[in-house]
Chain A
């Protein structure tokens, strides 16, 4: 750029282009002793790597797997800690050595590489179009149109074998399928409420105010052995929590006066937001909190939502006692348990203030 006229950029911008910074040589370029010192440093770093790898192998075989080390408040397995330190240091030294090599010893000459246009030249593009047109002419598709039409049909029908595979994704989720699956649980008239894990029946008279029981339907006990897949499906919907509250300190609507047994109420354990199991119950406030997204339900008020993203009240299971005083279900839930879905009929869900 040696021209007497000021360039365009210089006319627009008042500050002149400073150009490329003046090149300054490194100590290692001008002082052979410095270069040798850096060489020794880098060689030492690379030389440490085999030693660390040997240490890793030694740690693997020599250290008792149950031994632990305590440092900086950490109580960790000794073998894993030392193996990690050895392997990590080895990889770090390879990297640091390589960087030092490139920064201080390799060629320091600055190079400039000009960019060029990505697009092809006009001649190349004209030539490509001409070759394509010649190919079309050669195939004769302009004269024999039947070939083109039948090819289009053949390619189109190839989608059918691919699409028919979607049938494997399961039965069509119509109203009948929903009624048989997500809109019912194994709860039914007379099914005993039993403790989760241990499957013990629950005596209503033995429950105390403030008590919480994580419970399941008794029919799951057999299913757990006979049909584990069905067991998982049914447990995911049928899980319940039973709580006992002072009957004088809770609100029971007229339509649900016979749903509880002297302050013992039973609710679905599945959050109506996205279906997390919930049993985080505060016995004094009667609030049930979902740990996933903090939806909060008031079990002393038919399970209405008092906080959080859930929109539907927690479904309540009507219960009674059998002749021996054990808790049993009156029937299945009146509404589908768990999170909502597009086709769900939400007119039967309890809303705060319903009778």
Chain B
């Protein structure tokens, strides 16, 4: 009874299903996330950065940079933080400790850029600075002097008045700034690595950062005029006074009191 009708409908149903599948497929193709595009450039850099991140960083910072008990979240730290930490060899950290020390960097500039681009894609943060943001050339003497005032106000509490660094509690320390590049100083100020506070553009403009960098490079070019003795203050100074100063005077006293050659 119904058979002829069914037979008539079957081709129509097949056409309908075919059309529906086509629509679904087209719609999926349209809304599906675009995968790696070789011609796009930027996404490819992020993808290779993610691959390097998974290999080198994720054991402490998590597979998506969300942070673990071993390392902080990297969402929002920005490309400048990656460039600073990796290009100075501080990251990846060789051994867990109070603080990551400066080491020789083993990554190429492209590799660091790729990882930085990936971390920047996790959440916006400070970008890697351009040379005009940290290059100190072209500043007047007055501006460099103001850089000194800014340095003594904002930086000397931890990094010492001469930028030689200093101790922090529990084995941590503020590193010496002698020979540190302007780019590293800029990135450290903007990102606040480890225990260092952030100094953002609102409080310290790019020009003022350049003044500080200029002051430091000028300060470290001037002859120091003496031994720093490790910069430890009275401890090492007292040690040398006792050993060399008083020791030398004792030697003279013994020589004066000795009888000299005797004609036996």
Contacts and interface: CB of A to CB of B under 8 A. Distances in A.
Nearest to A244: B198
Contacts of A289: 168-169
Interface string B198-233: 111111100010000000000000011111000000
A30 interface: yes
B200 A296 contact: no
B264 interface: yes
A279 B168 contact: no
B158 interface: yes
Interface stretch (A4-12, A19-27, A339-347): A19-27
A203 B192 contact: no
Interface stretch (B7-15, B88-96, B149-157): B149-157
B158 A280 contact: yes
B262 interface: yes
B194 interface: yes
Contacts of A206: 200-202
A24 B263 contact: yes
B244 interface: no
B197 interface: yes
A239 B83 CA distance: 34
Interface stretch (A40-48, A67-75, A222-230): A67-75
Given A197-B149, A291-B166, A26 B263 contact: yes
B146 interface: yes
Interface string B225-264: 1110000000000000000000000000001100111111
Given A68-B223, A211-B198, A214-B153, A25 B172 contact: no
Contact of A74 (B146, B196, B200, B226): B226
B226 A76 contact: yes
Given A27-B261, A76-B223, A197 B146 contact: yes
B153 A200 contact: no
Nearest to B204: A195
A243 B158 CA distance: 16
Contacts of B194: 284
Interface of B: 146, 149-150, 153-154, 157-158, 166, 168-169, 172, 192, 194-204, 208, 223-227, 255-256, 259-264
Interface of A: 24-27, 29-31, 68, 73-77, 80, 99, 103-104, 195-198, 200, 202-203, 206-214, 243, 277-285, 287, 289, 291, 294, 296, 307
Q: Please list the 4 inter-chain residue pairs (A to B) with the smallest Cβ-Cβ separation, ordered nearest first.
A: A212-B197, A206-B202, A282-B195, A211-B198
